[in-house]
Structure 1
């Protein structure tokens, strides 16, 4: 019999609907009867007892909200009767005991990655174009079009063919129907590559580098240096205008500070020192091509799973995120940590309500206090402009059952598993300690993935219940769906389906092992995530202002 409802934690006073439930239905759970006072859509919650104004609402075993007025037993939780609330948090001496999962199935396993001279291992082999300022974006676009098409990295040929079909139909006076859409072929990003060991040429177009504040330019410089130093990047071409705030020397200083022994091919071009736009672009293409011939000599080699750095992210979340995909990814995280690998959990606005649990799991007092300081300052900055972490849930989140930020956040924190927190990193700081690391980023999908890659993630697991195409230029991003319906509807962007957890067909542990198996294949280049296939190279630097 298919389970229709779920109580996540023994201390909860709400039940989650796994299917649509009708008003007037009698639901029996653990020997108790609940007569539904409203229609309850799948992913939403109803109350297990009468609630009065001010009563705490518990989910995942923690405070996630407070009742705003009387709500009858069996009533629907919604934005009218429930407001965000979370417990205060503080540092306290706490001995956390972690029971690591059984990893015997994965012990001794390897992935085929690109071993760098500093000992880190990439899951991809990219050449990276970096503009120091937005003025160079056009030149990057010109270079991208030239190189992507000629070297076999373009994925838009099918749409060019379709546009050509429409043009010909128009010229011939034919009907401009969509009849031929179904005949579009799939781009093959591997078969036609000139350089078989170069997985892509990536471009970090952005809107910064001048104007704004000097702090913006300084943070951007550190971010760009982090991407140049990334283990998935084998060579770099930098384009600069010349007069901008973010000077080439600033970038070089940050790169040297981050990687004193940086030894990748690095070409720098400054437009105000060039004779013409044509000379600049041609020389950048020529030198990059020569560099590509060199990095094409690097081949994949076996490396232990402990060399993987896994970023975990959620976006377009729904009411199933915290009970299927996120805990499954969390189990994957625990497996990797137990194998000696590194996991990066970020999105600080989406850890609201889970702070005390994470503080208690942090091994080092200094790191714990750093987490408290970053969280407190971030939320205060948001409140200073009339916002706050409580405003994080989007309309789509709320529509699909994430009524408060604490509900969203406590479910989101499940991606980090249960292992101890080894370190806490501010934005762009590199992960240097194996195990679970907390990384300060916004919750915004692209700002968060941009930040995870800057801290060294070589793969990102991205869970979604509503569907999002987000990717990253240098870090393969794997989409994990919370439910079967999404996988069926948006299969062109989904890589892994956790719907079997909701249907009772797989356990969290089984799903977590499946996800790790996929990660090993993706890290080895044996399977290409959909975001990579689509060249979904999203990159948004965080200006350190308020962004939830």
Structure 2
């Protein structure tokens, strides 16, 4: 699959010679005549930028190909120059050869002494952080108000004496009781909370429970191998005297952590310590041409330098999973990915979910016709290196290189799982303009097109629309992204951090019944 498009400023983009659709670089008006090689194509509809038009006549039933990948078939006869979208594409599913390992290529690793570096925070146990927060976690929704009040006490004025602390953040949640236990949902919740409690970007942690919930604090700690010490404290409201008394005790606990949390300094460390969660949201027709493949190019660089790239959003690889199974280092790794997709097929059966074909209104408005087309772009974020391992949601990631973590496509849920798995940075591509941020791992947002980047400059960090504009190749854009990651990992604030986002994006996956 090509990762460099023709930089010539023609109004139509051909992504692969075998494609029978073209991408509109700009909005095209009805009747406009566009030169395409030796022929002239007359545009037969008003076509928004990022949408597809037929490069030639496509008879009913013929496969629609983009990047030489089948994204559906013609629901009716389509004329050259027609707008090709949801009204004339139908989704077709078909058997795909997983081809385990067929596309595995050796990684040209950079020698240790020559690897890129950033200014990181090294914890006493050797874990490397990119930020320095103190976190407060609720075992149950019933203690969420308390933890928000504890965190709210630590205003910028009260933290002024601790300039090395990035903040005190409350990770409130809406579950922890009224749920089946034991259950997969229960295990996932505990695994997620524990992943945050262990996260290197948290210098100190306070876990607060109510006392009568199913997710008992003591059982949470023991089941997840967590132990209390000076930087890991717990409180139970029913044992602490109630709401006000627990808030006071929580404030005192955090105050005792602050001097130690502040006593850090950044130092030069290898980029091999970076674990990047890859996310996309509000995608458009340019996402799979600019931001996603450029991020994939950046991840190829990261992997060469010993780092870890975490692709997720399982419903958004549906239809192109063979692109990943062919890169699996073993058949077992590839099969684990297929097993997760089979689980999703069962999980979503009978529901009008994205896995079953229909993408969101914003995706459709941006030019994406169905889940296969969206998946085609989404999978590109993972680059081209071998797939080393497949993990369940919020499972600790212990392999370096390119890996996959199972998750929904819903952005806050997917990113929460990635952070719980150990991601210390998030890279988030968007074509429509998702306003997203995360703590304790910061988010870098990559815009797929220049008009959106310009319109939402306060929210977007990097303009990958430069690829469409002919100012950067995908590989050059990937290098720019990699360098930006190193700067952000060293402490440079991202746009979402400057806007204060991330306090409400802790959303563990709800996957069970509520009773």
TM-score of the pair, normalised by structure 1? 0.87
Q: Determine if the alignment matches structure 1 residue 248 to structure 2 residue 217.
A: yes
**Counterpart contact for 2:109–2:305, Cα < 8 Å:** no
Aligned mates of 2:241, 2:303 — CA distance in 1: 53
2:498 to 533, 541, 545: 533
Following superposition, the deviation at residue 457 of structure 1 comes to 0.8
Using the alignment, how far apart are the partners of 2:230 and 2:29 within structure 1?
62
Shift of 1:84: 2.3
Q: How does 1:97-116 map to 2 (within 5 A)?
A: 97-98=104-105, 107-116=114-123
**Residue 74 (structure 2) pairs with residue 62 (structure 1):** no
Q: 1:512-542: CA deviations, max 9, x gaps?
A: 11111111111011x1012122231111111
Counterpart of 2:25 in structure 1 is: 18
Alignment partner of 1:457 is 2:423: yes
The alignment partner of 1:502 has SS state of coil
Cα deviation, residue 309, structure 1? 0.5
**Aligned match for 2:137, one of 127, 130, 135:** 130
Tell me the secondary structure at the aligned position of residue 239 of structure 1. strand
Cα deviation, 1:256-315, whole Å, max 9, x if unaligned, reads 1xx7x8977111111101224322111110111111111111221211011110111111
Residues 92 and 497 (structure 1), Cα distance of their counterparts in 2 relative to 1, 3 Å cut: closer
Q: 1:389 Cα shift?
A: 1.0
CA deviation string 1:405-440 (max 9, x = no partner): 111110111111111100001101111111000110
| Residues in 2 aligned to 1:387 and 1:499: alpha-carbon distance in whole angstroms | 30
| Partner Cα separation in structure 2 for residue 95 and residue 377 of structure 1 | 24
Partner of 1:518: 484
Say which is worse superposed, 247-256 or 235-244, in terms of deviation. 247-256
Structure 1 residues 72 and 451 mapped into 2: Cα distance closer, same or farther (>3 Å)?
same
Q: Which position in structure 1 is the counterpart of 2:309? A: 343
Distance 1:98 1:264 in 2: 46
Per-residue deviation at 1:73?
A: 1.5
CA distance in 1, matches of 2:106, 2:242: 63
- The residue aligned with 2:13 is 6
2:203 counterpart of 1:234: yes
Q: Are positions 1:204 and 2:171 aligned together?
A: yes
Match of 2:257 among 291, 310, 314: 291
Tell me the distance in 2 between the aligned counterparts of 1:449 and 1:22.
39
Query: Which deviates more from structure 2 when the two are superposed, residues 20-29 or residues 323-332?
Result: 20-29
Give the structure 1 partner of residue 5 of structure 2. none
Match of 2:413 among 447, 463, 466: 447
> In structure 2, what is the Cα distance between the partners aligned to 1:360 and 1:262?
44
1:379 aligned partner: 345
Q: Structure 1: how far apart are the matches of 2:228 and 2:244?
A: 30
After superposition, give the CA deviation of every residue in 1:313-362 in whole Å (9 maximum; x if it has no partner). 11111111111111111100000001111000000111112111110101
Is 1:51 aligned to residue 63 of structure 2?
no
Shift of 1:197: 1.6
Tell me which moved more, 244-253 or 501-510: 244-253
Q: What stretches of structure 2 of length at least 5 have no aligned partner?
A: 1-7
Say if 1:109 and 1:283 are closer, same or farther in 2 by CA, change over 3 A.
Answer: same
CA–CA distance in structure 2, aligned partners of residues 93 and 437 of structure 1: 15
- Please name the residue that 1:42 is paired with: 49
When the two chains are superposed, the root-mean-square deviation of aligned CA atoms in Å is 2.1
Q: Which residue of 1 aligns with 2:464?
A: 498
1:441-468 Cα deviation digits (max 9, x unpaired): 1111111111111111111110111111
Counterpart Cα distance in 2 of 1:409 and 1:284: 44
Give secondary structure in 1 for the equivalent of 2:168: strand
- Could you say what secondary structure the match of 1:503 adopts? coil
1-structure distance, mates of 2:309, 2:230:
26
Summarize the Cα distance change of 1:263–1:422 in structure 2 as closer, same or farther, 3 Å threshold: farther
Task: Give 1:305-320 correspondences, 5 Å limit.
Answer: 305-320=271-286
CA distance in 2, matches of 1:404, 1:505: 30
Quickly say closer, same or farther: Cα 1:102–1:499, change in 2 above 3 A.
farther
> In the alignment, does 2:419 pair up with 1:412?
no
Q: Deviations over 1:373-431 (max 9, x none)?
A: 00111022212335451345110110110111111110111111111100001101111
Shifted more, 384-393 versus 49-58: the winner is 384-393
| Whole-angstrom distance in 2 between the partners of 1:425 and 1:30 | 46
State how 1:99-248 maps to structure 2 within 5 Å: 107-152=114-159, 193-214=160-181, 215=183, 216-248=185-217
Contact 1:345 1:415 survives alignment (8 Å): yes
Q: Which runs of 5+ in 1 are unaligned?
A: 153-192
Instruction: Check conservation: 1:236, 1:264, Cα contact below 8 A.
Output: no
Q: Is 1:433 matched up with 2:387?
A: no
Q: What is the CA–CA distance in structure 2 between the aligned matches of 1:202 and 1:42, rounded to whole Å?
A: 40
CA contact (8 A) 2:179 2:512 kept: no
Change (3 A) 1:97 1:131: closer
Aligned residues: 502
Shift of 1:250: 2.7
Q: In the TM superposition, what is the alpha-carbon distance from 1:203 to its structure 2 partner?
A: 1.1
